[in-house]
Amino acid sequence: MTGKNEKSQHPATIAAQALGWIDEETRAISPNLQSSTTYLRDPDNQYRSGRKYARADNPAFDQPEALLAALEGGADAMLFSSGMAAATAVFLSLAPGDHVIAPKVMYWSLRNWLLGFAQNWGLAVEIVDMTDLAVLKRAMRPGKTKIVWTETPANPLWDITDLAAVAEIAHAGGAVLAVDSTTATPVLSRPIEFGADLVMHSATKYLNGHSDLIAGALVTRMEDEQWAKIKTVRAQIGGVLGSFEAWLLLRGMRTLFPRVRTAVANAQALAEHLAANPNVAQVLYPGLRDFPGHEIAARQMTGGFGAMLSIRVKGGEQAAIKTAAHVQIWKRATSLGGTESLVEHRASVEGAGSPVPADLLRLSAGIEDVNDLIADLDQALLAAM
Ligand SMILES: *Cc1c(COP(=O)(O)O)cnc(C)c1O
């Protein structure tokens, strides 16, 4: 497997060619699909190939992991069976009694896991408003706080974390900063450049981009002791991706840049249009100038503000649910980051304890013609009133 020195290339080139690796034996440009779970031991009882068993390590991961590490500017990456498997592996590498801090606005299922399983297991979990640096500073317990977890832009209100400021606070207290960068994607944001130690992705979303596989990933700034612990968690708990899913994920990542760029342009146009729609009470999108995190997002994101936005529908919860009922082109479904645009009433999903208002619809802008997306939402909003 060889590739030209990717350091001199633009990220979009690296992604389109998946690092330019070729198979030396066949000269294949697309990797062979290799599905073996086990590897031949040498006659003298050694494993010189470095491979033993596919729960610990799988050659199908090599290229997608190397590609993601290159795109994020990290030292190494690890694929997991889902975004949740990736995120929970970070916390499971800690010990009971350790303190962790997570944001009020974040992916709901991980918040529920932290407040349920992780607390029962013995982690001290503190939820803070990550946009308020004074609150974060007060929550830090130097020496005890091991991880500051954040997400930016954060589901589904799109709160922006000031990554450089939060990294400084975390590091001053001896903690690691881990960032769920699923909605930002490496196209728009590289958290390691702003001081993050770990970057997490639900690769189910933009990295794969076609709503046809569940996968997760972590990227590390350094191959340190904690990274080795996380690797052990993956091998022992076994949240590993299948070979075919890894192969599909690499195929999806080749088109990451054009997909994200198109979806981001659609989201910006949608946000500006919906802000003027009389049936919309509020548009939440970091690309709008009056959005509270806009200035920070402009500083730490390049090429746009993401392809996720939310609207608060005039007329409240029932009007929001009815709007979703009337879409024809948008698809009423959970998830995000696919080529197709998705709309979802989030309060129905997140339930009690969620900061999400009942009149909110979350929108994942896809890569369709934006005029169709705008016309469909306009008619659905009107029909719901
Ligand atoms: C979907 C998602 C996750 C969870 O990922 P899965 O692949 O569904 O396990 C975590 N964080 C964010 C921001 C997500 O959108």
Q: What is the mean pLDDT of the chain?
A: 96
Residue 160, H or E segment: none
Please tell me the distance from the alpha carbon of residue 87 to that of residue 201, in angstroms, as a whole number. 8
pLDDT of 376 > 50? The answer is: yes
Write b or e for each residue in 281-301: b if 16 or more Cβ atoms lie within 10 A of its Cβ, otherwise e.
bbbbbbbbeebebbebbeebb
d(CA 230, CA 169): 23
pLDDT value at residue 354: 85
pLDDT tens digits for 155-167? 999 999 999 999 9
Residue 217 near ligand 1, beta carbon < 6 Å: no
The mean-pLDDT minimum among 64-73, 87-96, 344-353 falls in 344-353
Residue 10: CB atoms within 10 A of its CB come to 10
CB 158 near ligand 1, within 6 Å: no
Phi first, then psi: what are they for 222, rounded to 5°? -135, 145
Q: Which atom of ligand 1 is nearest to the CA of 86?
A: 9
pLDDT of residue 243 exceeding 90, the answer is yes
What does the DSSP assignment read for 235-280? HHH--PPPHHHHHHHHHHHTTHHHHHHHHHHHHHHHHHHHHT-TTE
Nearest CA, atom 2, ligand 1: 202
Distance from C-alpha of 299 to C-alpha of 55, rounded to nearest angstrom: 40
Q: Using CA positions, which residue lies closest to atom 4 of ligand 1?
A: 83
pLDDT tops 80 at residue 5: no
Q: For the purposes of burial, counting CB atoms within 10 Å of the CB of 75, is it exposed (0-12), middle (13-18) or buried (19 or more)?
A: middle
Residues 6+ apart with CB under 8 A from 339: 209, 210, 211, 259, 366, 367, 368
203 CA distance to ligand 1 centroid (A)?
A: 8
pLDDT at position 1 over 60: no
215 CA to middle of ligand 1, Å?
9
Helix, coil or strand: residue 201: strand
- Model pTM above 0.95: yes
What pLDDT score was predicted for residue 101?
98
pLDDT band at 7 (very low <50, low <70, confident <90, very high): low
The answer to whether the CB of 216 is under 6 A from ligand 1 is yes
- What percent of the chain is modeled with pLDDT above 70? 98
Ligand 1 pocket: which of 204, 210, 212, 342 to mutate (most atoms within 8 A of CB)? 204
Q: Atom 12 (ligand 1): residue with closest C-alpha?
A: 107
Instruction: Answer whether the bond into residue 153 is a cis peptide, omega within 30°.
Output: yes
State the Cα–Cα distance between residues 314 and 10, nearest whole angstrom.
44
**Is 2 a residue whose pLDDT tops 70?**
no
Angle, CA of 280, 158 and 380, to the nearest 5°: 30
Nearest CA-CA partner of 68 in 212, 220, 222: 220
C-alpha to C-alpha distance for 253 and 207, rounded to whole angstroms:
5
Ordered by where they begin, the domains of the chain are: 6-253 (3.40.640.10), 256-384 (3.90.1150.10)
Catalytic residues: 55, 107, 180, 205
Q: Which of 48-57, 301-310, 353-362 is the most confident on average?
A: 301-310
For residue 203, give the ligand 1 atom closest to its CA: 7
Model confidence at 279: pLDDT above 80:
yes
Is residue 155 within 6 Å of ligand 1 at its C-beta? yes
| pLDDT band with cut points at 50, 70 and 90 for residue 281 | very high
Distances in Å between the Cα of 197 and the Cα atoms of 144, 237, 295 are 17, 23, 23
309: alpha, beta or left? (left if phi > 0; alpha if psi -120 to 50): beta
What would the pLDDT profile of 113-154 be if each residue is shown by its tens digit?
999 999 999 999 999 999 999 999 999 999 999 999 999 999
189 C-beta closer than 6 A to ligand 1: no
- Please report where in the chains the tokens 């297991």 appear, as a residue: 121
Binned at pLDDT 50, 70 and 90, residue 351 comes out as confident
Calculate what percentage of the chain has a pLDDT beyond 90.
Answer: 95
Taking the CA of residue 336 as reference, the ligand 1 atom at the shortest distance is 15
Given a cut of 70, whether residue 48 has pLDDT beyond it is yes
Residue 317 is encoded by which pair of tokens?
A: 């919860």
For 13-28, how does the pLDDT look when each residue is reduced to its tens digit (9 = 90+)? 999 999 999 999 999 9
Candidates 359, 360, 355; CA nearest to 106 is: 355
Dist CA 314 CA 303 (whole Å): 31
